Amino acid sequence: MFPPFTLRYARLPERFYAHFEPVPVRDPHLVAFNRSLAEALGFDLAAFNTEEAAVWFSGNVVPHGAEPLSQAYAGHQFGGFVPQLGDGRAVLLGEVTDHEGRLRDIQLKGAGRTPFSRGGDGRSPLGPVLREYLVSEAMHAMGIPSTRALAAVTTGERVMRGIPEPGAILTRVASSHIRVGTFQYFAARGDSEGVRELADHVIERHYPELHSKLESQPDGERYLGLLEAVQKRQAALIARWMGVGFIHGVMNTDNTSISGETIDFGPCAFMEQYDPKMVFSSIDEGGRYAYANQPSIAQWNLARLAETLLPLIDEDGDKAVELATELLQRFPEQYESEWLAVMRAKLGLASEKPGDKALIEALLAAMHRGRADFTLTFRSLSDTAENTQAEATLIALFERPDEITAWLEEWRERLAQEPRGDGDRERQMKLANPAFIPRNHRVQQALTAAMDENDFGPFETLLQIVTHPFDDQPGREEFTLPAEPTERVFRTFCGT
């Protein structure tokens, strides 16, 4: 059933990980399976059956050719450095090569206590597994780089999270699970050879364009080039998050992927009423990871990566700091240009004009003051692109009509300066403005039905809806709506 494993990470030095076999579970049941992803990864599904799949995706049997391991990493959590974190409940089976020739990690999350578990039980409750499944697949469907969900199994065991909850295991697919914290793990130990081997592995795997210059370039430039490449991907990623109102919730350096994918969906959530200070995570008391802080936190995390690379960038410490600082200081500018591209597309602007930033900010300010729903506002704006009749629906999303009405006039003036005809503007805008996101109360309802009644129907329905985010889905209108006051989710939990 599994495609052949490649075992690139397993061939890195032993101190990069701990060999670890998943701890078998009592009674595994397959509750979700991503057939199209499995096909793209080269799984043989001819003889697929759910009983057998449950055995594989629970880790009860390790597939032929896999060499399971848990990865070592460190990380800054809420600004405080923890020199050893690591996969406390995850096991990497190995990498496979997908249909496009890209290496993909296959990881079981919730596979039992590992040498990195510290005080934890190594398990995952069903709720967070289904939440990650839904949100990561929704992110991917919106075209936002993300780890993927391949399968979810229940374990037939209970995990204690204050109260007993059903246990589950998620099979996660990523272009790799290497994090900023992976670099920090070696740097914190003064293991500069480890940092170098990791950097070379990352360059070969994620940034081959740097790899090809390997011979012709001085080493320092290559590693500075690595920092620059990671920075570019982070700038693009965070801009995409901001464009859909996504709040990651735990942007620790151990949750910052080197490949530029969204990783670790803990207390993440999509905001409804627009508020740049919005925070959902119950553990984020100071609002460190609030919506509007995400770009500057990404820059902070990149500075932590830069610190680990300094000795590779230049032998002269001062020179290395100077080069890295100069690069990091360009982040705000790079981010802004990514963000403007995202927001211009949301506003239906194909050309660039100097006043665009102010126009975008004016809309956001009106949304904030008018307590407008983020997703509905932009989708509704798409509807008005070619049909001024639809303005009433948009205006009704705002508590007060005056500001948005005035803004719409400005926007139409700006649209008039666009080169192309109105013809495909609505369609283009709808591809930048999802109608369906995993709204928090819907996610909660799906999780509750699965956990309390073993009813996976609402999960399957929601998954089907959020993996087609840009389609108008007739009959599914209620899934476009924000929570009623009684259904609102104000706090989300890590659920670890």
The binding site for ligand AMP (CB under 6 A) comprises 85-89, 117, 120-123, 255, 264, 266, 494, 496
What's the token pair of residue 65? 């050719």
The answer to whether residue 264 forms part of the interface with Mg ion (CB under 5 A) is yes
- Do 116 and 86 meet the contact criterion of CB atoms below 8 Å apart? yes
In the complex, least distance from residue 167 CB atom to Mg ion, rounded to whole angstroms:
19
In the complex, least distance from residue 294 CB atom to ligand AMP, rounded to whole angstroms:
16
Q: Which is nearer to Mg ion, 234 or 255 (CB)?
A: 255
In the complex, least distance from residue 234 CB atom to Mg ion, rounded to whole angstroms:
16
| Closest residue to Mg ion in the complex (CB) | 264
In the complex, least distance from residue 74 CB atom to ligand AMP, rounded to whole angstroms:
9
Supply angle C-alpha 275, 281, 282, rounded to 5. Answer: 125
Q: Which is nearer to ligand AMP, 117 or 405 (CB)?
A: 117
E strands, 133-268, in order:
148-161, 163-174, 246-247
| Site stretch for Mg ion (CB under 5 A), options 6-14, 152-160, 250-258, 323-331 | 250-258
Please indicate whether residue 254 is annotated as part of the active site.
yes
- Do 152 and 172 meet the contact criterion of CB atoms below 8 Å apart? no
Q: Which is nearer to Mg ion, 166 or 249 (CB)?
A: 249
What's the token pair of residue 99? 């249909």
What's the token pair of residue 272? 């409804």
From the list Mg ion, ligand AMP, none, which binds 85 (C-beta under 5 to 8 Å, kind-based)? ligand AMP
Which residues within the stretch 169-188 sit at the binding site for Mg ion (CB under 5 A)?
Answer: none
| Site stretch for Mg ion (CB under 5 A), options 148-156, 164-172, 260-268, 305-313 | 260-268
| Site stretch for Mg ion (CB under 5 A), options 25-33, 54-62, 254-262, 327-335 | 254-262
In the complex, least distance from residue 256 CB atom to ligand AMP, rounded to whole angstroms:
11
What's the token pair of residue 160? 């204690």
- Do 155 and 168 meet the contact criterion of CB atoms below 8 Å apart? yes
Q: Which is nearer to ligand AMP, 228 or 254 (CB)?
A: 254
Place of tokens 């690591």: 86
Q: Which of 178, 231, 241 is nearest to 204 (CA)?
A: 178
- Do 44 and 141 meet the contact criterion of CB atoms below 8 Å apart? no
Q: Which of 233, 188, 193, 191 is nearest to 210 (CA)?
A: 233
Q: Which is nearer to Mg ion, 375 or 496 (CB)?
A: 496
From the list Mg ion, ligand AMP, none, which binds 266 (C-beta under 5 to 8 Å, kind-based)? ligand AMP
In the complex, least distance from residue 386 CB atom to ligand AMP, rounded to whole angstroms:
44
> What span, in angstroms and rounded, lies between the C-alpha atoms of 271 and 318?
43
The answer to whether residue 383 forms part of the interface with Mg ion (CB under 5 A) is no
What's the token pair of residue 376? 């509905």
> What span, in angstroms and rounded, lies between the C-alpha atoms of 91 and 88?
9
Q: Which of 455, 138, 361 is nearest to 269 (CA)?
A: 138
Active-site annotation holder among 87, 105, 200, 254: 254
From the list Mg ion, ligand AMP, none, which binds 206 (C-beta under 5 to 8 Å, kind-based)? none
In the complex, least distance from residue 292 CB atom to ligand AMP, rounded to whole angstroms:
22
Q: Which is nearer to Mg ion, 362 or 494 (CB)?
A: 494
Place of tokens 């848990």: 70
Q: How many CA atoms lie within 13 A of 172 on its CB side?
A: 33
From the list Mg ion, ligand AMP, none, which binds 314 (C-beta under 5 to 8 Å, kind-based)? none
In the complex, least distance from residue 160 CB atom to ligand AMP, rounded to whole angstroms:
10
Q: Which of 464, 402, 473, 403 is nearest to 435 (CA)?
A: 473
From the list Mg ion, ligand AMP, none, which binds 467 (C-beta under 5 to 8 Å, kind-based)? none
Query: Which of 154, 234, 255, 467 is in the footprint of Mg ion by CB under 5 A?
Result: 255
Q: Which is nearer to ligand AMP, 68 or 266 (CB)?
A: 266
What's the token pair of residue 406? 């005035």
Size of the site for Mg ion (CB under 5 A): 2
Task: Map residue 127 onto helix, strand or coil.
Answer: helix
- 219 burial (CB, 10 Å; 0-12 / 13-18 / 19+) is middle
- Do 169 and 27 meet the contact criterion of CB atoms below 8 Å apart? no
Q: Which is nearer to Mg ion, 165 or 264 (CB)?
A: 264
Return the active site residues.
254
For Mg ion, the binding residues (CB under 5 A) are 255, 264
